[in-house]
């Protein structure tokens, strides 16, 4: 089969958080990285602001797959925010006090492998930016710093994203969840993680399956 260009990312950190259904005072984390979160990470490397239309173009031109090498342990962090003039969504002073209670979910000690494909020149530009990022890179939230360099290089030895994540080496072994952009007719679920503008999201169809890694070095990267 014909090989395709694939950019590999390793997301390894003490804390990660990939919000998918965050509302008001509760900030969740999905069990797998979101596409909008990965595009945001790439945007930081490129130096693109949150409202830059190039982010939407990048999102639409990339296909993504994720492998949960180590899914991590959920943790909920309790925050309080105090101010003499906390404003509501209408810009008015909040009624009922000057303190907001906030709950934020993180994944502890998680490790994901992400595979991206698209135009070769785009992937080369992303690889260069990830190796010399213009802005700091983080894993979902600014407080979530990677434990290792994110970029694992550009390869052309695989024919699909699924093949890459089944074969590329891992620091772990055993059962792992694999999530990939769904092809027509696949068993699929919907994730609300595609950003069509400043905090305007729509659904993305993905397929999930379980794979088994027999060893930590199945195929060299």
DSSP notation for the chain:
---EEEEEEEEEEEEE---SS-BTTEE---SS--HHHHHHHHHHHHT--TT-HHHHHHHHH-EEEEEEEE--EEEEEEEEEE-SS-B-TTSSBPSS-SEEEEEEEEEEEEEEEEEEES-HHHHHHHHHHHHS-SS---SSSTT--BSS-SEEEEEEEESSHHHHHHHB--S--EEEEEEEEPPTTS--EEEEEEESSTT-EEEEEEEEEEEEESSTTSB--
Q: Write the class of the CATH domain 4-213.
A: alpha beta
Structural contact between residues 176 and 67, judged by C-beta atoms closer than 8 angstroms: yes
Residue 198, pLDDT score: 65
Q: How many CB atoms lie within 10 A of CB 135?
A: 13
Residue 218, pLDDT score: 53
Instruction: Give the global pTM.
Output: 0.86
Residue 94, pLDDT score: 65
The residue with tokens 């909040």 is 94
Q: What is the pLDDT along the chain (221 residues), one digit of tens a residue?
A: 799 999 999 999 999 999 877 666 777 888 999 999 999 999 999 999 988 989 999 999 999 999 999 999 999 988 777 666 666 667 776 665 567 777 889 999 999 999 999 999 999 999 999 999 999 999 999 999 999 999 999 999 999 999 999 999 998 999 999 999 876 556 678 888 787 776 677 888 899 999 998 877 654 44
Distance from C-alpha of 50 to C-alpha of 112, rounded to nearest angstrom: 24
């Amino acid at each position: 089969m014909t090989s395709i260009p694939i950019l590999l990312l390793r997301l390894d950190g003490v804390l990660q958080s990939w919000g998918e259904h965050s509302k008001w005072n509760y900030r969740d984390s999905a069990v797998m990285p979101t596409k909008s979160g990965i595009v945001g990470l790439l945007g930081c490397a490129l130096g693109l602001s949150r409202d830059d239309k190039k982010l939407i173009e990048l999102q639409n031109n990339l296909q993504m797959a994720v492998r949960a090498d180590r899914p991590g342990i959920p943790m909920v962090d309790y925050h309080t925010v105090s101010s003499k003039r906390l404003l509501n969504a209408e810009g008015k002073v909040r009624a009922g006090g000057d303190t907001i209670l906030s709950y934020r979910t993180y994944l502890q000690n998680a490790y994901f492998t992400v595979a991206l494909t698209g135009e070769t020149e785009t992937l080369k530009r992303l690889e260069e930016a990830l190796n010399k990022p213009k802005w700091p890179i983080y894993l979902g939230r600014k407080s979530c710093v990677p434990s290792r360099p994110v970029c694992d290089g550009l390869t052309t030895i695989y024919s699909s994203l699924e093949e890459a994540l089944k074969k590329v080496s891992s620091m772990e072994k055993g059962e792992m969840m694999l999530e990939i952009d769904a092809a027509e007719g696949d068993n699929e679920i919907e994730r609300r993680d595609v950003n069509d503008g400043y905090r305007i999201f729509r659904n993305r169809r993905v397929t999930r399956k379980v794979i088994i890694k027999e060893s930590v070095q199945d195929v060299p990267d």
